[in-house]
Structure 1
């Protein structure tokens, strides 16, 4: 079973961007394998921290399911919170049969490299302005690419302790650079927001172990990377930044939003907050949100360009208008409780467990930033690439604590 969980964990990340729905393969096999627990009944030795992580995932599922039923939303709305529930038996499986760290680190690096290679081929050979690799759109490709890149860089401390130190370090560094590169050419700005924050977290951790030079080196590297990519001919970063500034100004002057992604987001946020004011406790559900938008469009109080969007392009605002403050609290708990658990482990756990704790902190931080400009958790790739890495990293962390 240890070999099976390791293979699944490797495939989960390695195929995430280069194969259509590739992340589902490893996740599905892990879920099916969790049924083995019913027969084998291994000792899990669960701690209070494990129950806390399990509890927050169950609370998220129950809160969103109860809200969906209360508002009479269509059954397909259950798909996304159900992914969180399905991660619960996978966590129990991985606590019993933790995967090898090499499978995780190799998977995230190869996944970032494979996704960047496919996106680069689309960009050069197919002349796609915003490549998306094998994902549903460029935004989610760019975000997951940046996530895999940051997770790769988080594993460099682990690589330094391996027998093949140079090979592992080279692979993970290549994965980190490929993830950043894929995010850059995707034109997904939310991933760019996560870069300095997560790189800073990684640098601070390395500085604690090896001196403050890592902080200065990281700052210089980020500034240099930004300057180079911004100054390149036909720079995607320059185009997207200039477009964001121009579209914001046009929105303020009431310009047409048809070709303005920033203007459309601002309009969606404005109207969602307007709709949510009278239903702060539990929101109005997906169906009620779409009906309220139709009324505003008919009354001329909302631009019709954004009338057909089913979410508010912001995880927090979208949850507020559909699920209310109770839903927002469940969402924040899904981010902040694991973040605090990983953060505490990063400060107090054994050195062997710290690379996994660092990756957990980076994972939660990335998603909290991604959710500012898009609804990451309303798509399959978004919710799966949060909760499954979360339980994988936690299981590996707990295993390293046990053997330390």
Structure 2
């Protein structure tokens, strides 16, 4: 999938030439491939991202593209570096296996991916086209698994919760591109493609039964509304809201989708836990596990218990036998912040908040200072806001970053989107 670059390349005044269009097409293709293959192959999200991570350093050294880092770039890169260093210290402190460095290594490689994006200036169309196609394929996979397989929930080729959350996130990110689409040569085609992708992403989320994503959905839609309310006619907003509501109600009323059952289970599980009964249900187990985890975390608040040392003291604090058995089999606490606090202590939580809040702040700053007519910049900054907000919300009910799919796509999408923001800013590039 080679896409023509949006930018022209000229020699710089320092004598160092910018990369050829081939370099731009290669980076663009890797970005698009990451999105397109995300849900259709086992570990499909890793092919394009891994290819770019492995080649970006040699490409940067060979072509030596002109890089001009801003203060905001350094803020984000510093957060990524701090995350890596903090985890290295924690891993060494606990004597944990080297495989636990795989998670922070994604953020380390993300630094070089960001440099490749701002240096090689890949096509913007590669991002939006790859995102839309990947989300549509995710919806098709979910529909196929629901109708043609014996799986109780759509799960793509990954954990069902991760699948549903990622489809929902990418679908909402497609809606962020509607302003960008209106400025393209064939705006209607782009608009309908992105809308179709958003619908398929939402449907895949409901087919997966990932209830944590449904909790995040109002926040993501609210963010979209805040950004679009002054730039879109009210009748279009009402039409979109009506269609979204109709889709959700339809999915709920059709028993085969499993949405009605999952909502009823969530309601009964929460009510049962509050009454002290049925604690071994999914909701009850998580609430009981989180209660015990807070007590365990207070015993080693600074560096935590390590990746496995917390299990025995945690299980001892759970009185329900069935819940105790389930918790003992888990390798995370279904909450990113709490899981980090128990395993890696306050240092790990600070590092996690750094990679949450620093990108959130800089994407918000760009969105606020962008002019109303700059749809390119607003689209990418809104995409970044949706990404970080979605990952934070998903992390309340799922250890999103403990999964390869979660940490890989969060780190990769974050640096790619910030790279596109940099390229779209007038002070950085003028076409």
Superposition TM-score, scaled by structure 1 size = 0.94
Q: Is the 8 A contact 1:203 1:214 kept in 2?
A: no
Question: How far off is 1:250 after superposition?
Answer: 2.5
Q: 1:201 to 1:10 in 2, by over 3 A?
A: same
For residues 204 and 368 of structure 2, the distance between their equivalents in structure 1, rounded to whole angstroms, comes to: 31
Residues 79-134 of structure 1 deviation map (CA, whole Å, 9 limit, x = unaligned): 11111111111111111012211100011111111111112111101132201112
Residue 364 of structure 1: aligned partner: 388
* Alignment of 1:274 onto 2:295: yes
What corresponds to 1:176 in structure 2?
Answer: 198
How many Å apart are 1:145 and its aligned residue?
A: 0.5
Structure 2, unaligned runs of 5 or more: 1-22
**In terms of mean alpha carbon deviation, does 34-43 or 151-160 score higher?**
34-43
Give how far 1:295 is off.
4.6
* Structure 1 residue 169, shift from structure 2 partner: 0.9
Q: Which residue of 2 aligns with 1:51?
A: 74
The 3 A distance-change label for structure 1 pair 365 and 299 is closer
Change (3 A) 1:159 1:186: same
More helix by share: 1
Whether the aligned pair in 2 keeps the contact of 1:204 and 1:215 (CA below 8 Å) is no
Q: Which residue of 2 aligns with 1:197?
A: 219
Q: Partner of 2:397: helix, strand, or coil?
A: coil
Query: Residue 122 of structure 2 aligns to a residue in which SS?
Result: coil
1:392 to 416, 425, 430: 416
How many residues are treated as equivalent by the alignment? Answer: 402
SS in 2 for 1:303: helix
Matching of residue 311 in structure 1 with residue 358 in structure 2: no
- Write the mapping of 1:64-103 to structure 2, written as runs, cut at 5 A: 64-103=87-126
Residue 160 of structure 2 corresponds to residue 134 of structure 1: no
2:304 touches 2:341 (CA, 8 Å); kept in 1? Answer: yes
Q: Matched residues in 2 for 1:120 and 1:325: separation?
A: 42
Q: Which moved more, 1:294-303 or 1:156-165?
A: 294-303
Matched with 1:207 is 229
| SS in structure 2 at match of 1:133 | coil
- Give the 3 Å change call, closer, same or farther, for CA 86–158 of structure 1 in structure 2: same
Residue in structure 2 matched with residue 239 of structure 1 by the alignment:
261
Q: In structure 2, what is the Cα distance between the partners aligned to 1:341 and 1:152?
A: 21
Per-residue Cα deviation, 1:272-308 (whole angstroms, up to 9, x for no partner): 1110112222222112212323554699797232112
Q: CA RMSD of the aligned region, Å?
A: 2.0
Contact 2:146 2:257 in 1 (8 A): no
Equivalent position to 1:229, from 251, 258, 264: 251
Alignment of 1:246-265 (within 5 A): 246-255=268-277, 257-258=279-280, 260-265=281-286
The aligned residue for residue 362 of structure 2 is 341
1:53–1:337: 8 Å Cα contact kept in structure 2?
Answer: yes
User: Contact 1:184–1:237 (CA<8 Å) still a contact in 2?
Assistant: yes
Structure 1 residue 73 displacement after superposition:
1.9
Q: Deviations over 1:307-343 (max 9, x none)?
A: 1211110001101111122211211121111011111
Contact 2:53-2:113 within 8 A present in 1 as well: yes
1:80/1:383 contact within 8 Å kept: yes
2:305 corresponding residue in structure 1: 284
Structure 1: runs of 5+ lacking an equivalent: none
Residue 380 of structure 2 contacts residue 420 of structure 2 at CA under 8 Å; is this kept in 1?
yes
Q: Which string of whole-angstrom CA distances, capped at 9 and with x for unpartnered residues, describes residues 212-263 of structure 1?
A: 55655555444433333223334522211110111123333444555x2111
User: Are 2:33 and 1:22 equivalent residues in the alignment?
Assistant: no
Whether 1:60 aligns to 2:86 is: no
Alpha-carbon distance change, 25 to 299 in structure 1, aligned in 2, over 3 angstroms: closer
Tell me if the contact between 1:289 and 1:322 (Cα under 8 Å) persists in the aligned partners: yes
